[in-house]
A and B are shown apart, each in its own frame.
Chain A
């Protein structure tokens, strides 16, 4: 060793604050015996497991559990769509165990909500631009499916030449009975169309078209739960919806992500 010996400038006991948003890795500078290189950890598993690895495993298990939960929820939803008389699956009810969920149970009569039944299928027509899929409406559609016998259809308007395949199946599989329209309580017809603003049409005789995703969402939500009768609360709900949609409008994704 032909080098100079230098006195350490700083003490060896400094505390370094590591950023928490990153993965922890074993210290490569510390002598091997004290650390756990991957191979070694695997070998010594059970006896002396690195707490970092353990934390990772816990996280992974957690993710898996959440995935299973989601899968169960989706299965439950699918079941209610294909067999509308079946009771809601346990997972679904547990999932929607939110304050609003209880409100859904107050049955709302479609006749009183949408006017007298004239023998025609009550068809809600939504014109949406495929460049901006109405994600909130897809969620509301799924919730409506739990409540009503829904006939869901997707069309492409001639003003649009091509639509990604996923947008053509975003309302789930078609109901087995879909060949008899009269068997359904409510129709949900989504038309991918070149429109500047999302648009909903229901009764062309008695109702103006509703424009904007938030307004349509309000309309659809009212089919699920009565709006708060307290004006202050109703205003609050409205402003919350507006805030939500303003935020959505700011970083709107260009294409459909799984919600």
Chain B
């Protein structure tokens, strides 16, 4: 019922917001309409007054593309504008990134995703004064079709990604016009933190960015981040498929909380209520019991944690692995760590451009790792912390600051940003964790860390129904509630283990960013449900 209340409030807020938004939108629309009218008038005026415009067919606002005709025109990618293309006449579709008029010339920077090129409109044989004026007045972020000749430049253009060429514009048509007032400037969005303070130039704060995510996502940094994120997913899938894993899909609406009772979202489900899955673990395990042997899944995971930190989201993408092993759960650790190493290597080798681009705005040390991955034991970690002056008990879980400190100590000694901490105390792990056979104070469980932050928590799961019942009772868990889970193991289950990582967190830590919202396209946290 609380959920209904929450929804009600949310709706109200939503409505209030949307009312305001509607008004605003209306006003803006009116404004835009007036503007367009004015502009149209202006152009017609101009046309009527400037009958002698030699280039009047070479520029203008193109009619809206409504698929009325299909031009046989090749559009070249900005990325492909290199000296090899010199002196060729080509078409490009790009956004106006910046424009700067200077007498009879107008310099445009045309942007396409992460790449941009300088374009020049100059009064001459093929362009009139009016055309230059028109080009200079195209609003930033408008999409244009440009025909021009690629010319090599003598001096490198430092401000553009295509440094060796520029485009001498013959024709320019606006395909989609942007409103003249942008809610935020792209240059401000990519300015490295701290740099703006000195010259009094603006940087954009996180919330403004997220409120205007569509524009923020156009920045070179965002383009690079999400291309890299797509790479992580791709590498994750490729590596596991190569290892003989099967990709599975698991339900997200479930009847009982999978990991304990807390932190679940309740949703109304016809006459009763259901929960949003906190992890696909139960289903992964059921697939193992159903003889799929090695499975993985990529999908949303929900956590109703009211924590507003740099690394918590209420919805994120989980990359989950579960596999049966033969004799020792280290087979599982090796499989997971190798997957991670393959991802890191793939990123290092295939996404250097993206890493560099992000590094321009958010400088960080390149991500370092070892192959095979370093595995330390929890006891060793505790000893290292104690040596560094931290006081803690043998069976105490690591606090976040201690995790970070340990990460620094490990980095100092082994120079790796990724490692596994094995053999956690049994007391700090969930009931389904397999106890250590030699010392029942410890367990067959592990955490993996990137730059000192935990990214994966996993374990050998108990695959014996009786032991599972005992452990559940020891944890005072209502057996009725987890009956279905325990029953899965009654008809023979192979020994197995697994774990899951958060896509956003892995991207954030790989790139050395400081907020998980930067690597979530449309982040969800306790205070944000839009856009």
Give residues in A with beta carbon < 8 Å to B: 118-121, 123, 125, 127, 155-159, 179-182, 189, 191, 193, 201, 203-205
A78 to B375, CA, bound (A): 25
B413-A204 in contact (CB<8A): yes
Q: Give chain B residues whose Cβ lies under 8 Å from the Cβ of A205.
A: 387-388
Binds A, one of B174-182, B376-384, B488-496: B376-384
Q: Determine which residue in A125, A159, A181 has the highest number of CB atoms from chain B within 10 A of its CB, and name it.
A: A181
On whether A155 and B372 interact (CB within 8 A), knowing A118-B383, A118-B386, A193-B415, the answer reads yes
Q: Give chain A residues whose Cβ lies under 8 Å from the Cβ of B213.
A: none
Separation in Å of the A258 CB from the closest CB of chain B?
24
B184 within 8 A of A: no
A129 to B180, CA, bound (A): 57
User: Which residue in A119, A180, A181 is a CB contact (below 8 Å) of B438?
Assistant: A180
A102 to B57, CA, bound (A): 98
Q: Determine which residue in B348, B370, B388 has the highest number of CB atoms from chain A within 10 A of its CB, and name it.
A: B370
Q: Which residue of B lies closest to A203 (CB)?
A: B387
A181-B376 in contact (CB<8A): yes
B409 within 8 A of A: yes
User: Which residue in A120, A155, A203 is a CB contact (below 8 Å) of B374?
Assistant: A155
Tally of contacts, chain A with chain B, CB under 8 A: 66
Apart from A120-B383, A182-B379, A189-B414: 20 A-B pairs, beta carbons within 8 A? A118-B386, A119-B379, A120-B379, A120-B381, A120-B382, A121-B377, A121-B380, A125-B414, A127-B415, A155-B371, A155-B414, A157-B369, A157-B370, A157-B415, A158-B344, A158-B345, A179-B328, A181-B375, A181-B380, A204-B413
On whether A155 and B370 interact (CB within 8 A), knowing A125-B413, A203-B387, A204-B409, the answer reads yes
In the complex, per-residue mask of B348-369: 1 if CB is within 8 Å of any chain A CB, else 0: 1000000000000000001111
Q: Give chain B residues whose Cβ lies under 8 Å from the Cβ of A180.
A: 438
B370-A120 in contact (CB<8A): no
A191 to B419, CA, bound (A): 14
B404 within 8 A of A: no
On whether A159 and B368 interact (CB within 8 A), knowing A182-B377, A193-B415, the answer reads yes
A158-B330 in contact (CB<8A): no
A125 to B416, CA, bound (A): 12
Q: Give chain A residues whose Cβ lies under 8 Å from the Cβ of B386.
A: 118
A182 to B438, CA, bound (A): 12
Q: Give chain A residues whose Cβ lies under 8 Å from the Cβ of B409.
A: 204
Q: Give chain A residues whose Cβ lies under 8 Å from the Cβ of B377.
A: 121, 181-182
B379-A158 in contact (CB<8A): no
Separation in Å of the A179 CB from the closest CB of chain B?
5
B412 within 8 A of A: yes
B382-A119 in contact (CB<8A): yes
Q: Which residue of B lies closest to A155 (CB)?
A: B370
Separation in Å of the B411 CB from the closest CB of chain A?
10
A195 to B151, CA, bound (A): 44
On whether A118 and B387 interact (CB within 8 A), knowing A158-B348, A181-B377, A181-B380, the answer reads yes
